[in-house]
Structure 1
Amino acid sequence: MFDTPDQILRQLRAGEDSRAEFKEIRFGERGVISPNTEDFAAEMVSFANAEGGTIFLGVDDDGDIVGVPREKSQLVEQWVLNVATQNCDPPLRPQVRREALPVPGENGMSIIIVTVPRGLFAHCTSGGRYYARLGSTKRRLAPPELARLFQERGRGYVFDEQQVFSGAVEDLDWNRLEAFFGRSPRIPWLDLLRNTRVTTRDESGVDRPTVAGLLAFSSDPARLLPSAYIEAACYGGTRLSSDDLVHAERLAGPVSDQVDAGIAFVMHFMNAGRPAEGKDVYDIDVVDEAIVNAVAHRDYSVSGSKIRLFLYADRLELYSPGKLPNGLTIEEMPYRTFTRNQLLVSFLSKMRSKRTGQVFLESRGEGVRKILDDGEAHAGRRPEYELFGNELRLTIWALRR
């Protein structure tokens, strides 16, 4: 990007932006003392967690060249590489080069250009801080932003295992916990909840429910996770119009109840106004699989977005918040297993539906293929997955009569 002196000087005149940062270098008896290692690591991490960028060393905040003494250039280069490998996690591999540019009143000065590529992973500083570049500044990532970054870059941060800071153990439903774990566990309850990651301790030693713990074992998770419910609506026609709205309902409660309520909603309305001919409009097992997948694999870090279930005269549409994780594509979905919410999935794989008596999830990775193949066999038209920004839509077509 900055291959010639003219390109470099143009950027210095333009100032800092989303791809360029200026840093003046100061030395002490033992080497570089400013910027300090944590701050410089934060600058590199912020570029790596965004789209990459360039740090100009020997340039002040106004874009004026103050330079780096040539006899200390090697020292600075080694310092940069040490910070990149020892103070960034995972380590970064920036490109470092010297550029001789005119410095007013100085001889033997140069600047050092550090190019940081876009990272393959989510990177943090050795102090455990995650940043991303936003405009001309770095910004520390909030938990939802960090979760999305990990899902995009495919490293081990799992959002549903994070604690809900505003929650407490009292927000869990003990009847549900006893139904799942038994009334008389062999170890104290709090130890059991911590061991199974239903709860975790915060920095003050207070037990807090995890996201998955709240979703699975709270009678009202949406009180603390406001988007954790299904918005269901039935329309008499084929378009999203309030004129055609037959019924709308919010399906809340723990995720197990949401799934059963979603199935009940579809079963109640799917054959309305149609003559009974011995075959339902939808294969209810396909609908069951679709709703379970949506609840289990949606991105709960996307605030303000809930699962939406819309029933039309000719189709069922199910919207699930979140992009596909770990580089997965629509075309690969039938053939690759993917689990965004590993802890929640582990709970659902042991919980049983009140409707069927069967566990909600089995770990065979056949759910998407079942939806596509059985949905097509039932209705004569293959269901369709489509991605719209941060939302995945599944369309299941109604049986034509």
Structure 2
Amino acid sequence: MVEHSVFEDILRRGESTTIEFKRCGSRPERDSLETICSFANRNGGSLFLGVTDSGEIQGIPYQNLLEIERNLINCTCNPDLFNMPPSLEFEQIEYGGQWVLRVWVPPTQGVYRFKGRVYDRLADADIVLKADTQIASLYLRKYSIFTEQHIFPHLRIEDLEPGLIDKCRQIASSRRPGHPWAEMDDMELLRSAQLYTRDIETGAEGLNRAAALLLGRREVVLAACPAYKTDAVFRERQADRYDDRETVRDNLVTAYGTLRDFCAKHLLDPFYLEGDRRVSVRDIVVREMVSNTLIHREFTSPFPAKLIIDESGFRTENASRALFEGRLTLSDFNPMPKNPIIASFFTQIGYAEELGSGLRNLEKYSKALLGADPVLSEGDVFVAQIPRKKGLAEGDRASGALKENTRLAVLALLEERGALSAGDVAAELHITSKTAAKYLKGLASDGLAETDGNVRTRRYFWAG
């Protein structure tokens, strides 16, 4: 049931991928049936009858509500109109003395046609899909096919990158002593990781697309997914040029290291304390952003993945097979793996954490890295972005919490060493000498440090 406050918020925000407003008299028009078809083919949605496009309530006579419901059911069950009836649920809403009929279309696995046409929902519009590739993509999204599971009967272990299986075995064993991969030979490990599988429907057996992507030689990766690549770009100022670029088409294990190093080269790593332990917020955020764009993408899509670092921030884009469209938040996030085999393999070797932890880590550490919270949007293209807060100085890209962490770190270092210069602090904490001097002067003003020497030779002594 839609509460009045929620309904008011819907009216204020307006139409979207899952919200549509329609005027309605005694019976719904054809465009309402088109919207029902497009909702059923996308992520479901709510059609509000009795509301204008601008969100103004026009209302429906109360005596017409039940007849409109019956009419919609008759239309959707008519085989001359719909190839199969989509599910509908109704809610009569009384608001301000007027009546609105909410028609909720839940998401399903079927692909629906209205008068022989396939409708899809794009933003706030119902569009007709005509191209075969568009309809094929719709079927792929609707049936949640895991394309990583496709078996290549002629793919052999010899086609995988030499030594890479053993490298992954060693990484997993070093992370978790007693890891079962330690005692397995290569074939046993591939079977255990579900990289060598059998299709119980067709009987086909062999290495699958996930194996080719994770461990294959470059030519094998491109044969399994010809369109696969990740463009990493660093732009300092000019939007139409780049200062550094890396085009990655290697297997995912190798690509992870390449993209991680690219990010480390172009992102500062501010000092950050968690309790009394320093953690690298850059490494945590980079791991989540890079692993996400490598794991949760639709590899059969021709859309090239992108990793961009520029003055606006840090973002990734990749093709997705989405069951939901819109912004992701912790409060309504329900993690669904796009490629569970690849995700599990990355978890075993420490390149990713358990499903759902990535968003929590980004929410926790992004502000410390670039000064703003992350923005994640799901759709046919998944976008993860960490905006850069404007006006942050190079040595002090931090929120108030991060500044306090840095102050405490300088204080702890001074207590440990007894005496320090600004240069000593800068070298130890990876901040500029100017920033180090600012914190040391602050400690001196608070009576926690004493100074000796002129500006060029000044040293600070612990006075606790």
Structure 2 length normalisation: TM-score? 0.48
Corresponding residue for 2:60? none
- Aligned counterpart, 2:289: 290
Quote how far apart the aligned CAs of 1:257 are.
Answer: 1.8
2:151 to 163, 167, 170: 163
CA root-mean-square deviation:
5.0
- What is the aligned partner in structure 2 of residue 400 from structure 1? 393
* Structure 1: unaligned runs, 5 residues or longer: 1-6, 12-17, 20-44, 53-93, 100-110, 125-130, 152-156, 352-358
**In structure 1, how many angstroms separate the alpha carbons of the residues matched to 2:42 and 2:355?**
35
Deviation at 1:346, TM superposition (A): 0.8
The CA distance in 2 between the partners of 1:252 and 1:113, in whole Å, is: 46
Task: Note if contact 2:313-2:387 (Cα within 8 Å) is conserved in structure 1.
Answer: yes
Q: Does the CA contact (< 8 Å) of 2:374 and 2:384 recur in 1? A: no
Q: 1:322 matched to which residue of 2?
A: 320
Q: Is the 8 A contact 2:232 2:307 kept in 1?
A: yes
1:296/1:136 Cα in 2 relative to 1: closer, same or farther (>3 Å)? Answer: closer
Task: Write out per-residue CA displacement over residues 182-218 of structure 1, whole angstroms, 9 at most, x where no aligned residue.
Answer: 58737x93x7645643134578866443232222121
Check conservation: 1:320, 1:393, Cα contact below 8 A: no
- Distance in 1 between the 2:38 and 2:312 partners? 48
Selected match of 1:381 from 363, 366, 372: 372
| Aligned residue number for residue 227 of structure 1 | 227
CA drift at 1:308: 0.7
Residues 144/207 of structure 1: CA separation in 2 closer, same or farther (3 Å cut): farther
Q: Distance in 2 between matches of 1:265 and 1:96?
A: 58
How is 1:303-318 mapped onto 2 (pairs within 5 angstroms)?
303-318=301-316
Q: Is the 8 A contact 2:213 2:224 kept in 1?
A: no
- Residues in 2 aligned to 1:140 and 1:383: alpha-carbon distance in whole angstroms: 32
Which position in structure 1 is the counterpart of 2:431? none
Q: Indicate the residue corresponding to 2:357 in structure 1.
A: 366
Q: Is the 8 A contact 1:47 1:132 kept in 2?
A: no
> 1:122 and 2:109 equivalent?
yes
Give SS of 1:116's match. Answer: coil
1:356 match = none
Contact persistence 2:231–2:246 (CA under 8 A): yes
- Give the structure 2 partner of residue 147 of structure 1: 140
C-alpha spacing 1:310/1:49, structure 2 compared with 1 (3 Å)? closer
The equivalent position to 1:251 in structure 2, one of 244, 248, 251, is 248
Look up the SS of the partner of 2:213 in the other structure. helix
Assess, with a 3 A threshold, how the Cα gap between structure 1 residues 180 and 140 changes in structure 2: closer, same or farther: same
Q: Displacement, 1:142?
A: 7.9
Q: Which residue identity does 2:266 align to in structure 1? A: F
State how 1:70-81 maps to structure 2 within 5 Å. none
Aligned AA (1:284): D
Going from structure 1 to structure 2, the CA distance change for 1:49 and 1:342 (only over 3 Å counts) comes to: same
Corresponding residue SS for 2:328:
coil
Tell me how far apart the structure 1 counterparts of residues 235 and 344 of structure 2 sit (CA, whole Å): 35
Matches within 5 A, 1:14-29: none
Q: Which amino acid is 2:240 matched to?
A: S
Out of 327, 331, 347, the residue aligned to residue 349 of structure 1 is 347
Q: 5+ unaligned residues in a row in structure 2: which ranges? A: 1-27, 45-71, 88-105, 120-127, 170-180, 273-278, 395-464
Seen in structure 2, the aligned counterparts of structure 1 residues 235 and 112 have a Cα distance that, compared at 3 Å, is closer
Cα distance change, pair 267–199 in 1 and its aligned pair in 2 (3 A): same
Alignment of 1:131-210 (within 5 A): 133=118, 144-151=137-144, 157-163=145-151, 170-173=158-161, 175-180=163-168, 185=184, 189=187, 193-194=190-191, 196-201=193-198, 207-210=205-208
* Maintained 8 Å contact 1:334/1:368: no
The separation in 1 between residues aligned to 2:373 and 2:364, in whole angstroms, is: 7
Count of residue correspondences: 286
Please state whether the residue corresponding to 1:349 is helix, strand or coil.
helix
Aligned CA distance change for structure 1 residues 140 and 316 (closer, same or farther; 3 Å)? closer
**SS of equivalent residue, structure 1 residue 338:** coil
Mapped to 2, the partners of 1:392 and 1:205 lie a distance apart of 38
Q: Secondary structure at the match of 1:213?
A: helix
Query: Counterpart of 1:316 in 2: which secondary structure?
Result: strand
Greater share of helix? 2
State the secondary structure of the residue aligned to 1:392.
strand
What letter is aligned with 1:260?
G
Amino acid at match of 1:343: I
Alignment match, 1:262: 259
Q: 1:48 to 1:171 in 2, by over 3 A?
A: farther
Distance 1:144 1:167 in 2: 26
Instruction: Output the CA distance in 2 between the equivalents of 1:176 and 1:265.
Output: 21
